[in-house]
Amino acid sequence: MAGSSEGSDKGGCLYVAATPIGNLGDMSDRLKAVFQECDLVACEDTRVSKFLLDQLNIQKPMISYREENEHKQTPFLLDKIKAGEKIVLVSDAGTPALSDPGFRVIRECRREGLTVIPIPGPSAFLSALCASGLPTNAFLFVGFLQPKTAARKRFFQEYKNFPHTVILYESSHRIDKCLADLLEELGPERTICVAREITKRHETFLVGKASEVVEAFNARSKKGEFVVLFAPETYTL
């Protein structure tokens, strides 16, 4: 039996809730209400989520739900939902299950016909795409690439002729190597965007030819969280 969002106030459910990716002003009233009414918060890092709830003057029980313990915690959360509890699933920032924990418990809820309710909100890759100026009619989001240089180069080779915008995440530890590989494999004329610290104080968008963007990037801070996008080969700004 498929799970339904109808009548969720009468029984247990899993809220898949997006949280701010930097600016706390992006927190919706609906998210605040869900935090108020829930029985438990399943979060990636309890310290991060406690800070968020503290800003709302809300105190709720929390359980750590991250990549390392998803298999263990998923049955526990399902039992709670079956018993009528309302669980809010959050990641440290952004939307759960998108390069963050959450897929397994959501999948198991669907398999068991339990109610899953999305609470839409911030997403770093969607924010980057919408503000980049690159084509938005269709796109591919791939999350974080494999950390090895050879794997990154294979990825860029494989998607060099992809007909739509490609979006990926990269850490501050590998962003310079990632952009060097992108420039080598896709060429200096490819239109790309590098977005840094979206919604935060030092938010930066670098958009243009790969050679120009990489040159500008190399003169700036490499700290923070990055979204990298590249357009189809035929696209120019």
What is the rounded average pLDDT of the residues 75-100? 96
**Structural domain spans, the chain:** 8-119, 124-230
Residues sharing a CB contact under 8 Å with residue 227, sequence separation 6 or more, in sequence order: 124, 125, 128, 167, 168, 169, 170, 193, 194, 195, 198
The answer to whether residue 7 scores a pLDDT higher than 70 is no
pTM above 0.85, yes or no: yes
Question: pLDDT-derived band of residue 3, with 50, 70 and 90 as boundaries?
Answer: very low
- Rg of the chain, C-alpha, whole Å: 20
Question: pLDDT-derived band of residue 221, with 50, 70 and 90 as boundaries?
Answer: confident
Helix ranges, the chain (H): 29-37, 46-55, 70-82, 103-111, 124-132, 149-158, 175-186, 210-218
CATH class, range 124-230: alpha beta
The 10 Å Cβ neighbour count of residue 25 is 7
Pick the CATH number of 8-119 from 3.40.1010.10, 3.30.230.10, 3.30.230.70, 3.90.480.10: 3.40.1010.10
Domains 8-119 and 124-230 share a fold: no
Q: What is the pLDDT of residues 143-196, one digit of tens each?
A: 999 999 999 999 999 999 999 999 999 999 999 999 999 999 999 999 999 999
Long-range contacts of 58-65 (CB under 8 A, 24+ apart): 58/32, 60/35, 60/88, 65/89, 65/101, 65/102, 65/105
Q: What is the pLDDT of residues 96-146, one digit of tens each?
A: 999 888 999 999 999 999 999 999 999 999 999 999 999 999 999 999 999
Of 67-76, 147-156, 158-167, 209-218, the range with the lowest mean pLDDT is: 67-76
Question: pLDDT-derived band of residue 10, with 50, 70 and 90 as boundaries?
Answer: low
Look at residue 122 in the predicted model and tell me its pLDDT.
95
